[in-house]
Structure 1
Amino acid sequence: MTYAHGGELVARSLAAQGVSTIYTLCGGHVAPIYDGCLNHNIAVLDFRHEQAAAHAADAHARLTRNVGVALVTAGPGVTDAVTGVANAYQARSPMILLGGAAPLKTKGMGALQEMPQTEMFRTFTKASFTIERTEDIPEQLAEAYRHALSGRPGPVFVELPFDVLFNAVDAPETMPARVAIAPIPPPVAAVQAMFDLLRAAERPLIIAGTQVYWDGAGQALRELTDQTAIPVFTNGAGRGVLPMDHPHCFKAARSKALRAADVVLLIGTPLDFRLKYGREDWNPAGKLIQIENDAAELNHNRQADVAAVADARLVLEALAEGLQGIRFQAWLAQVAEWERARNEKQQAWEQLDDAPVNHFRFAAEVERFVDENTIVIGDGGDIVSACAKVLTITRPGQWLDPGPLGCLGVGAPFAIAAQRLFPDRRVLILSGDGSFGLNGFEFDTAVRFGLPIVAIVGNDAGWGQIRGPQIQMVGAERAIATSLAPTRYDKVVEALGGYGELVEEPGGIGPALERAFAGGKPACVNVMLDPAGMSKTGASSPYIV
């Protein structure tokens, strides 16, 4: 008979589910798990803040379309990770946060770092529970996986008390099988109703969101639009599922297209602020087909004419089969003309040689540098907004941003996870100067693990997305709490052991990026931007909660 302590069982259970890396910040409450990870070849990446560890697990989940795992100690370790878990919840990322806890035998007595952790997480996780018996660890961690991956993917919090991890029990002979979730086929009646609406349509539109990416439906989407010429707009993690250089994929003309569309096929993205809640900018007489993996999102903010919980790939394949011979070429040409006219106005700003650099010229220089081998991570306000309007994303998973929570500080943690998973690809962070300050110290983590991530910081010495509208509304003399110093973030990264370079002219951006990546170590290119750049273009607008 062999014995295993709780930490060994945690690691063995994770390995059985295919986990090869966990993201953490150390603490005594969870030390046995590290010992188990060494036994099962699970890499342990330790961060400088638990929020960053949680963000990295979120990125791991998105890039692998599987569960990412973070491990933090009790009390402040758990509370520090809250923001990362909340962001994963809003972004539909299936991560598991393992949190240490005070011993069960002293529960309620005031042990070190004791607090009601599971209760805190229940409102923004798919499940939050305590494992109270060491022998239950394998099955309950498998259950955490099932919760994270089923239906709408999302985070799970598992509390592991100190004595449960240190206790030794008979080692089980086998571990629970790896969790696999079967795709949900669309109801036949719903598919027929979709056929009826789309066959009668003149101006249909597809908005492909995060679920299209998670369901691996990119090829099915391409085949449907190639066959029918239905214009496509991508949203959230859906960016890249249809390459943005595909002639049927658009990004600038969405508002005009929504106002004219008579049928919108909305796949796996909520009708939230990004889509004006399905109201403003939408044709009030238009029909809505809504496909979701979350029944709670159906008919939310706008009543759908057809609503179904189903796998995105199966729906798109069914539509391609049922819409053979139908093509919307004239409507596609109209959307393409709106797109061309909108881009023409923007291109004037992209070509400016002024210094300090304009946000859109910054974005244009980055666009010239990014290729299919580059993973791009957006972490900021105005700078990410500008770049998203310019960059051509051509592969699924090539673009990562916080998601609908709008959480700043994801840049370095996301990049570390991405570089660890894909060592042969370039990983570029598009960072505002404000957002860099939240987790910029994780460049220390990147240096320690030899991960050559590169951040290009758009530095306008302020919280630009707030400050620009603030000045418009109340004037510069009353614009408070939104200014920053023109800090040399390149020097910060140099001090941590990386490479840094300051750029003040637009023509210097591309060469600086080349040098940063050629150096083979973590790097920061710090670009000084025009603080009024977004206001001048008219792209800056009052912050909307």
Structure 2
Amino acid sequence: MTEASTGGEHVDGHAGEQTVAALRAFGVDTLFTLNGGHIWPFYEAARNQGLRVVDTRHEQSASFAAEAHAKLTRRLGVAALTAGPGITNGVSAVTSAWFNGSPVLVLGGRAPQRRWGSGSLQELDHVPILASVTKHAATVDDPANAATQVHAAATQAVAPHRGPVFLDFPLDVFGPSAGDVPPVPAPFGAAADPDADAVARLAEQVAAAARPAFVVGSDVYWGGAWAELAAAVEHLRVPVFTNGLGRGTLPADHELAFLRTRGVLKGRADLVVVLGTPLDFRLGFGHYGSAAVAHVVDAVTQVAAHVDVPTVVGDIAATLRGLADHRGGRSDHEPWITELRAAEEASRTAEEPLLAASGSPIRPSRVYGELRRRLARNAVVICDGGDFASYAGKFVEVFEPGCWLDTGPYGCLGNGMGYAIAARVARPDAQIVVLLGDGAAGFSLMDADTLVRHGLPVVMVVGNNGMWGLEKHPMQAIYGWDMACDLQPGCRYDEVVRALGGGGETVTEAAEIGPALDRAFASGVPYLVNVLTDPSDVYPRSSNLA
């Protein structure tokens, strides 16, 4: 995954000091947290060893921040959560990291072991709760072994297929002690080599197809394989569609990158190769009409059990290098590329009126028309919402790796502020834009206070239609009525951010969107643009969610 210091030192200090030393060996430089007495020794160690600490207003935000920091740096992300409710508050974010394959280590506080069963404050056995949504969950019960357990957990987190891990620490392991930090190999987190014959067969299948396509997902990014991706598709002349962190692994303006023509892909492709993403509801559960499907995954745990398709398992960069090295004959893919490009450009032309819509109430698409003109190529775009965030997936083009953060297949709202906190920490000079539905804003907007306290300016845009649109419109279509779908019309989310020390404004006319965004980007503070959008606008959703 990345290179780091080697570790291999002896630490004369308590379990917290050993833990931080072990984390530093993996390249960890930031700890996300919310204060609780059970985890003070971690803070002491962070202070002593120069680890940055960023504290949030909710443990869910701290956990989401750890995940986003992992996504943006391609290193281990770390959160420290206090015992009991501190840990359970973070479980949804940990579960998102589990579904997203993000390497996160959650350090938990725990009631003292010597009094276990006596009813200490926040006495809860967290391990069974976390076990089903982590690669590893355990309690550190020997202070001299703390660094070794942290090293082992971190190694599991960053090894493909990546994912979160959890360790909790009883208060009584923080007494005087000492321990060794195991050495960390550099580089670490590498996948196994793929089977060379399986790669060769896949290359021949792609070369022989008349209308092949690649669907590229997050594990191509995690594997740092964007150069290999470009080499493979340019050599074999294969169109590319992306999702998740796969967006930006091939620049949106590359001749083989496509965003708007998934319908053509489903109807016309004769081979779809899915690289580094599950064959889940987002991808028709692995079915693309009459097309053959092949799958490329980074670990055997990611082989699909519900559909039987040829699968290459192992290092994705190595697989792509093998495809780029194919030297046999190849079908002429240029007519297929031309067909897709024509459809792409036709769709681009058709969307222009939506991006420039001037009517009232404001169409959500107009927000993206204005935003697209202002986004730098390396802007980090964060999505937290339903329909409003789905429009981002439809209209926002991504040009560089690691610039698109969405909720992922778990679909857990409330990630926006935690992701924004980490994005500004990890990318201090980039534009950071958080796209929030008004429903999603309710989960974590108080963490605008965290952005203010830590001097982390970001631009937040709320698509405010006064409802849970993803639920209201389908309920109306199915039942003819809806329930529990309405929010406060015209709610002033901007005033919340202003009250917390940031900036903001409400926009009611389409012509005001662009100037408001300009003020937001120029403000140098956390700034929320609250756009009142058309409640009758329905996102054209086509996915079969189940």
User: How far is the alpha carbon of 1:262 from its aligned partner?
Assistant: 1.7
> Secondary structure at 2:221's aligned position in 1?
helix
Q: Which of these residues, 245, 259, 267, is aligned with residue 251 of structure 1? A: 259
Q: Counterparts of 1:177-216 in structure 2 under 5 Å?
A: 177=184, 180-216=188-224
AA at the equivalent of 1:488: R
> Secondary structure at 1:300's aligned position in 2?
coil
Structure 2: how far apart are the matches of 1:335 and 1:75? 53
Query: In the superposition, relative to structure 1, how do residues 17 and 195 fare at CA in structure 2: closer, same or farther (>3 Å)?
Result: closer
Structure 2: how far apart are the matches of 1:338 and 1:296? 36
Q: Which of these residues, 372, 382, 394, is aligned with residue 389 of structure 1? A: 394
Is contact 2:278–2:304 with CA below 8 Å preserved after alignment?
Answer: no
Q: Which of these residues, 367, 370, 373, is aligned with residue 368 of structure 1? A: 373
> Which piece of structure 1 moves more, 350-359 or 67-76?
350-359
> Secondary structure at 1:52's aligned position in 2?
helix
Tell me whether 1:489 sits opposite 2:496 in the alignment: no
Structure 2: how far apart are the matches of 1:203 and 1:157? 45
Query: In the superposition, relative to structure 1, how do residues 370 and 139 fare at CA in structure 2: closer, same or farther (>3 Å)?
Result: same
Aligned residue in 2 for 1:345: 350
AA at the equivalent of 2:237: A
Structure 2: how far apart are the matches of 1:191 and 1:35? 50
TM-score (norm: length of structure 2): 0.94
Structure 2: how far apart are the matches of 1:39 and 1:403? 36
Aligned residue in 1 for 2:183: 176
Tell me whether 1:233 sits opposite 2:225 in the alignment: no
> Secondary structure at 1:493's aligned position in 2?
helix
CA shift digits 1:12-31 (9 cap, x unpaired): 22222221110000111111
Tell me whether 1:60 sits opposite 2:60 in the alignment: no
Q: Counterparts of 1:469-508 in structure 2 under 5 Å?
A: 469-475=474-480, 478-485=481-488, 486-508=490-512
Structure 1: how far apart are the matches of 2:61 and 2:339? 44
Structure 1: how far apart are the matches of 2:504 and 2:152? 45
AA at the equivalent of 1:271: L
Structure 2: how far apart are the matches of 1:171 and 1:91? 33
Is contact 1:88–1:95 with CA below 8 Å preserved after alignment?
Answer: yes
Structure 1: how far apart are the matches of 2:196 and 2:25? 37
Tell me whether 1:321 sits opposite 2:325 in the alignment: yes
> Secondary structure at 1:70's aligned position in 2?
strand
Structure 1: how far apart are the matches of 2:371 and 2:326? 41
Is contact 1:227–1:324 with CA below 8 Å preserved after alignment?
Answer: no
Is contact 1:252–1:339 with CA below 8 Å preserved after alignment?
Answer: yes
Tell me whether 1:38 sits opposite 2:47 in the alignment: yes
Structure 2: how far apart are the matches of 1:484 and 1:464? 10
Structure 1: how far apart are the matches of 2:495 and 2:544? 31
CA shift digits 1:35-82 (9 cap, x unpaired): 010011001111110011000000001001111000000000010010
Aligned residue in 2 for 1:310: 314
Is contact 1:94–1:149 with CA below 8 Å preserved after alignment?
Answer: yes
Unaligned runs of 5+ in 1: none
User: How far is the alpha carbon of 1:533 from its aligned partner?
Assistant: 1.5
Aligned residue in 1 for 2:289: 283
Structure 2: how far apart are the matches of 1:191 and 1:515? 51
Q: Which of these residues, 280, 286, 297, is aligned with residue 272 of structure 1? A: 280
Aligned residue in 1 for 2:118: 109
User: How far is the alpha carbon of 1:339 from its aligned partner?
Assistant: 2.2
* Matched positions, count: 534
Tell me whether 1:75 sits opposite 2:78 in the alignment: no
Aligned residue in 1 for 2:522: 518
User: How far is the alpha carbon of 1:114 from its aligned partner?
Assistant: 1.1
Structure 2: how far apart are the matches of 1:183 and 1:298? 15
Is contact 2:370–2:514 with CA below 8 Å preserved after alignment?
Answer: yes
Query: In the superposition, relative to structure 1, how do residues 127 and 534 fare at CA in structure 2: closer, same or farther (>3 Å)?
Result: same
Is contact 1:266–1:289 with CA below 8 Å preserved after alignment?
Answer: yes
Identity of aligned residues (%): 38
Structure 2: how far apart are the matches of 1:2 and 1:126? 27
Query: In the superposition, relative to structure 1, how do residues 246 and 224 fare at CA in structure 2: closer, same or farther (>3 Å)?
Result: same
Unaligned runs of 5+ in 2: 1-9
Structure 2: how far apart are the matches of 1:16 and 1:542? 43
AA at the equivalent of 2:18: L
Structure 2: how far apart are the matches of 1:324 and 1:433? 53
Is contact 1:16–1:178 with CA below 8 Å preserved after alignment?
Answer: no
Structure 1: how far apart are the matches of 2:407 and 2:477? 27
> Secondary structure at 1:249's aligned position in 2?
coil
Structure 2: how far apart are the matches of 1:75 and 1:197? 52
Is contact 1:465–1:540 with CA below 8 Å preserved after alignment?
Answer: no
Aligned residue in 1 for 2:30: 21
Structure 2: how far apart are the matches of 1:134 and 1:454? 44
Tell me whether 1:433 sits opposite 2:466 in the alignment: no
Is contact 1:54–1:85 with CA below 8 Å preserved after alignment?
Answer: yes
Query: In the superposition, relative to structure 1, how do residues 211 and 107 fare at CA in structure 2: closer, same or farther (>3 Å)?
Result: same
Query: In the superposition, relative to structure 1, how do residues 226 and 196 fare at CA in structure 2: closer, same or farther (>3 Å)?
Result: closer
Is contact 1:470–1:542 with CA below 8 Å preserved after alignment?
Answer: no
> Secondary structure at 2:337's aligned position in 1?
helix
Structure 2: how far apart are the matches of 1:387 and 1:498? 24
User: How far is the alpha carbon of 1:317 from its aligned partner?
Assistant: 1.2
Q: Counterparts of 1:395-414 in structure 2 under 5 Å?
A: 395-414=400-419
> Which piece of structure 1 moves more, 500-509 or 50-59?
500-509
Tell me whether 1:154 sits opposite 2:156 in the alignment: no
CA shift digits 1:204-248 (9 cap, x unpaired): 111111111011111111122222321110111100000111121
> Secondary structure at 1:97's aligned position in 2?
strand
User: How far is the alpha carbon of 1:324 from its aligned partner?
Assistant: 6.5
Aligned residue in 2 for 1:144: 153
Structure 2: how far apart are the matches of 1:498 and 1:226? 46
